[in-house]
Structure 1
Amino acid sequence: MLPEPSLPFAAAFAPALLDPARSTPSVVTGPNGKAAGRRYDVYRNNVTVSLIDALAAVYPAVQRITGPEFFRAMARFHVRSHPPTSPLLFEYGRDFPAFIEAYEHAQDMPWLADVARIERAWLDAYHAADAAPLSPARLSAVTPDHLADLVFVPHPAARCLRSQYAAVTIFAANRDGAPLPRIDASTPEDALITRPAFDVTVHRLPPGGAVFADGLISGLSLGEAAASALDAAAGFDIAANIAGLIEAGTFISLACGDPS
């Protein structure tokens, strides 16, 4: 069994891995103390390719939209400017959506960063802790005079994302490999990501739905979240939306305001 590398060695070895312009660190040597530039370059290339592959695994819809060649070129720039901070590959690329948003060659796809944000939320929901979702019967047992004061405890997997573009439709169309329909990308769409059991689901929310869901997930009472949603969309249907959120597994329990 090989010994673990010392911290000083690792500190000298690692910085040049993601920067091809930097020379091989002096601490890297081959047999009999000979230079090991080629060996280091092979290792450096393998690290970069592994991180690009990790991004492709997290963002398959983004890669399908751009094509593998464009995606891998964009991902390579990201890898060189954003080294990993965790040994877990699925954690890598949290800042990739923001990178896409600023990436010069993706400016003609302004919705692409939001599609990436949905994909990242999908993965985080997948790895979130398990929890039994709130039963609809639990809410129906609350008397009408206490409904406005109810506070909901969100499921660990529940996430809400808003977009100025048709990000949910674009995401869904590029995740299943089916023939792509014609999409009006300029239509704003908001997403609810949940995982009530084993499968992650992405729901497109109606007007006011994201304000409502976001409010409840962040700890607002049902009355406060409903008022915010009605300000955002005058025709907002409170009953239908709370039923939809519960059916989607957005919450696990009721907190304060529940009299029982």
Structure 2
Amino acid sequence: MRQRQTYADAFSPALIDPDHQTPDVVAGPNGKAAVKRYNVYRNNVTVSLIDSLAAIYPAVQRITGIEFFRAMARFHVRATPPTSPLLFEYGRDFPAFIESYEYAQAMPWLADTARIERAWLDAYHAADAVPLAPERLAAVPPERLADLTFVSHPATQVVRSRYAALTIFSANRGTESTGQIDPTQSEDALITRAENDVEVRHLPEGGAVFLTALLAGQSLGHAAAAALEEVPDFDLGASISGVLAAGAFIAAEFGEES
């Protein structure tokens, strides 16, 4: 049996598509057509979503300029309607859109900069948790350290880039000068929030491989081996200290096999 179309089902689809005609269910006083009223509402919805993207991706807007950003965001809004009533949830696929956006191809690092911004917002809204204290590892017998697995902090994310996306992000979110930037230098970023403030840290060579493996539930030994395979002089001790200092994990435990 065919379900009856609701008012919302008829009203919503045309909101972000200016080429879509005003739904028949929309009417003004005395049943008269309300095309102009609907178009005003439709424009307000689009502007609100563009404003939301600008609030989520301020560094991207600063890089491109307001006019370019809002034109790009408008195309994204038309192609991708929101699926959540929470505006901060909107725009998760905006970095992927930027990557394919014709007029952004001259800035190949822009999409990864946006990915760091999205990770920053997700970390900001992540659940609170007490980070793992470094001294907890000091109590583990050295011969058993390799068997440890870690529970990640809800805010912890890694963003890898073939470009200097982290430096570009920092230069356009902060007030301090970063000097001349070579955008072709690859960078990996750790994003987390140990306490109140979101931290974005540069990961050393091999650090992203190491941390990603730990986040995937692999043991410390396997994660270290993966990092050393990619970077033979990978500094394991410094990397462990760094991720613990950043509050990337909340617990360490022994796997079932140990």
Structures share a fold, TM > 0.5?
yes
Equivalent positions of 1:175-190 (< 5 A) are: 175-179=173-177, 181-190=179-188
**Paired amino acid for 1:112:** L
Shift of 1:140: 0.9
**Paired amino acid for 1:149:** D
In 2, Cα distance between equivalents of 1:30 and 1:123: 40
Q: Which of 201, 208, 211 is residue 210 of structure 1 equivalent to?
A: 208
In 1, Cα distance between equivalents of 2:189 and 2:5: 44
Residue in 2 that maps onto 1:140: 138
User: 5+ unaligned residues in a row in structure 2: which ranges?
Assistant: none
Residue in 2 that maps onto 1:194: 192
* 8 A contact 2:84–2:90 mirrored in 1: yes
1:34 aligns with 2:56: no
Secondary structure in 1 aligned to 2:173? coil
Q: Name segments (4+ residues, structure 1) moved above 2 Å.
A: 177-181
In 2, Cα distance between equivalents of 1:41 and 1:125: 36
* 8 A contact 2:167–2:178 mirrored in 1: no
Bigger CA drift: 176-185 or 62-71? 176-185
User: 5+ unaligned residues in a row in structure 1: which ranges?
Assistant: 1-5
For residues 97-141 of structure 1, give each alpha carbon's deviation from its aligned partner in whole angstroms, at most 9, with x where no partner exists: 000000000000000000000011111111111100000110111
**Paired amino acid for 2:91:** G
For residues 153-190 of structure 1, give each alpha carbon's deviation from its aligned partner in whole angstroms, at most 9, with x where no partner exists: 11111001110000110000000144563210000000
Shift of 1:92: 0.2
Identity of aligned residues (%): 67
Shift of 1:15: 0.7
Secondary structure in 1 aligned to 2:148? coil
Q: Which of 237, 240, 257 is residue 238 of structure 2 equivalent to?
A: 240
> CA RMSD for the aligned pairs?
1.3
In 1, Cα distance between equivalents of 2:17 and 2:64: 25
Q: TM-score, normalised by structure 1?
A: 0.95
Aligned pair count? 253
In 2, Cα distance between equivalents of 1:175 and 1:45: 29
Secondary structure in 2 aligned to 1:16? coil
* 8 A contact 2:57–2:117 mirrored in 1: yes
* 8 A contact 2:164–2:184 mirrored in 1: yes
Residue in 2 that maps onto 1:153: 151
Bigger CA drift: 94-103 or 139-148? 139-148
Secondary structure in 1 aligned to 2:15? helix
In 1, Cα distance between equivalents of 2:197 and 2:233: 31
Q: TM-score, normalised by structure 2?
A: 0.96
**Paired amino acid for 1:89:** L
